[in-house]
Amino acid sequence: MKIKKIVIIFLVALIGYVYADKLKVSPVEELNVSSGYGVDINKELSGNVQYSIPFTVYEFKKKVRLGTGGTTKKAASSKAVGEQSSNIIEAKANSIGQTREDRQLNSSKSIIIGTQKISVISEEAASYGILNLINIIFSNAKTNDRGIFTIGKGKAEDILNFKVEGYASSADYIDGMIRNAIDYNFISGEYTLLDVYVALDSEGKNLVLPYLEIKDKSITFTGMALFKGDKMIYVLPMEESKVMNMLRGKKGKGVLTLQEGPEKYINYDAMVKKKVKCNRREEKYEFTIELDFQGDIKDNTLYKDIKKENESEFEKLMEKKIEKMCNDFLYKMKNVYKIDCLNLGMYAAAKYGRETGVDWNEKVCNSDIKVIVKVKIDKMGRGQY
């Protein structure tokens, strides 16, 4: 038995040595691990476009062992103290692929691909078009297809360079901000590389992405960038984005307020689920969007006591308010943006046939769209029954 154990231990050690030598594992301090990257462009007078791709990379400093002093075992124990920060490696070239060559020439360490949490595309680059960018990133099998894409006001490099207290990089902060935004404003969270790739290649879909600004000395999520094809066309403020998200997503969470004065209001924290029906009469399409809200009263200064009759009154008033919000947005969508912000063309294409050459933006904006809202209260809050 002892000989058998020795043989097994020897084989395990041998296999470990062989694979370690083949894999050539390097310590993290000798690698450039990226948390995010940006995309900026510079339009030259000749008509060419120069791409600038800044990468945020972590700086892993070697840990220092600090002893606590003393002669006892407890006093002689030590702990590792390390500090994590980040810096920017920038690369410039006339094509996105060439920036990879330039980036490695500006770095003394090997760059790890596929660890990025966040991509920030400048407003100028998004307006120019993102199809080539998405295709080259998606074709790389090592790329993290769950990383989130955003649009930034000004230069993407400035947003990535912005220092956020308590975070190794602004990319880490943005990642948490976008992922946790789904609890309010009916944000869907479908902004990953995979979501972007599918949206650009799907008939009847238009892409929307979170819009970021450096505002009041912090990075702020201020609205949604609306695309037509692969080009950004408009930036919707958060109030409009909130309504669009309600009508666009299959489900979402958010807070709605019914207010009659500075000190008379109700905050309604609700989940919404959406159903869409589509019909065609000759060449005109008709859409019915059913929104089913279910949630809790979080704050109430409108009614002294919410009884059954007040509850029903609130539900009807909130239904009317939401319907008005939705109809106001639909009017603006049809007459100002003239883009199918709600992906209704996707439902029509699925029912009546794809690849027919129909311009779904035009068809949807010339269609009849009806919104039916149902509001239900689940709980009134602790202390109210």
220-259: per-residue pLDDT in tens? 999 999 999 999 999 999 999 999 999 999 999 999 998 8
Confidence of residue 58 (pLDDT cuts 50, 70, 90): confident
Rounded to whole angstroms, how far apart are CA atoms 240 and 24? 52
Rounded to whole angstroms, how far apart are CA atoms 82 and 88? 20
Q: Is 55 helix (H, G, I), strand (E, B) or coil?
A: strand
> How would DSSP label each residue in 292-312?
EEEEEEEEE-S-SS--HHHHH
Segments making up each domain of the chain, as ranges = 20-63+81-238, 250-385
Q: What is the pLDDT of residues 195-209, one digit of tens each?
A: 999 999 999 999 999
* 365-373 average pLDDT score: 96
Q: Cα angle at 157 between 152 and 162, to 5 degrees?
A: 85
pLDDT given for residue 73 in this prediction: 44
Q: Residue 262 burial by CB count (10 A; 0-12/13-18/19+): exposed, middle or buried?
A: exposed
Residues of the chain with pLDDT > 90, as a percent, come to 54
pTM of the model: 0.84
Confidence of residue 43 (pLDDT cuts 50, 70, 90): confident
Rounded to whole angstroms, how far apart are CA atoms 219 and 225? 16
* Tokens encoding 193: 């590389």
* 344-351 average pLDDT score: 94
Q: Which long-range contacts (CB under 8 A, 24 or more apart) does 379-384 make?
A: 379/296, 379/297, 380/296, 380/297, 380/300, 380/306, 380/311, 381/296, 381/297, 381/298, 381/300, 384/297, 384/305, 384/306
Rounded to whole angstroms, how far apart are CA atoms 280 and 178? 38
Class for the domain spanning 250-385: alpha beta
pLDDT given for residue 81 in this prediction: 42
Query: 143 with 193: CB under 8 angstroms?
Result: yes
**Averaged pLDDT of the chain:** 85
Query: 283 with 293: CB under 8 angstroms?
Result: no
